[in-house]
Structure 1
Amino acid sequence: MSRLSATARNRVAFTLNGRPVSLEAEPRLLATDALRHGLGATGTHVGCEHGVCGACTIQIDGAPARACLTLAVQLEGRDVRTVEGLSPAADRLSVMQAAFRRHHALQCGFCTAGILISLDAFLREQRHPTEEQLREVVGGHLCRCTGYTPIIRAALDAAAQLRDAPSLPEPAHV
């Protein structure tokens, strides 16, 4: 029986914000570290490192996931989206990002990336969210600055705009 050495490195290839990427990763390397330090996706924040705060939330194959609880090797062959991949173009904000700006839904900004990623995934599935549903989504994120009220207002505003759009805008892959 062979043992996998903790220092063995594996090539991990996946799609990050629409672009193919790869990196060498030890089996214990967390997705947060691979994204931030290996690939420069620094919008994925490291908060509690226990999956509680939500600052590290990314989308894996369209579903929100805590990058601090995900090993980099688990990203193999997957489609990963970070906050850097939300914008439809390098010089434009997504509908949700623009709503956050309009409604002052961020202050320090530490939690914002994870909240945006979770809301983006939710609004792709739920075109007519209620305030209660949105509170449930953001309830998985800790924010000490806003009190959540402007976040909910921004999410409701974005949902209304997305409902009126013929289709959800796809992010640019720059």
Structure 2
Amino acid sequence: MSALHAGDPAAFATDVLDEGPAELEYEPGIASRRPTKTCAGGALIRDSAGRVLFVVPTYKPVLDIPGGMTDDNESPKATAVREIREELGLTVELGRLLVVDWTPRNGVWRDCHQFVFDGGIVDDATAHDDELEAVVYLTLEEAKPRIYPSLHRRLTLALEALESGSTRYAEFGREV
């Protein structure tokens, strides 16, 4: 269930019913021929010194921000909240959307819409998941050699969005 309706399942059910009956295909099979995009939700969490919280995954050679891929019928914001709870053992109320970034297909991974939300200030976070070796707080420059260039660009935009109050749209980390 989406984070928007997490506190009110009846409102979510009403919203679904208000949409009316499920849309039917006028051309059989058209929906199954559409591309399948993936989606991810993550959070920009900082410490009191302004450094960014990065997770150290066991399953890839680079750092990442807390978050992950959405499950079926799960919103990006609900994904970020769930992943932060799983990865860090924290229940957070995420702030506003900072960045929407489209990333192209890369190897086995499909193209993806990535959403970065304001995760606020959290000091002394620790890893609470077997998928993580640790967490580290770093400036973006300190993190640069340990993260993908597109994530560096995306997080630079996220920090700019925090300061300006304006959400950014990017493609592969470059504002367009």
| TM-score, normalization by structure 2 | 0.31
Report the structure, 1 or 2, having the larger helix content. Answer: 1
Q: Which has the higher strand share?
A: 2
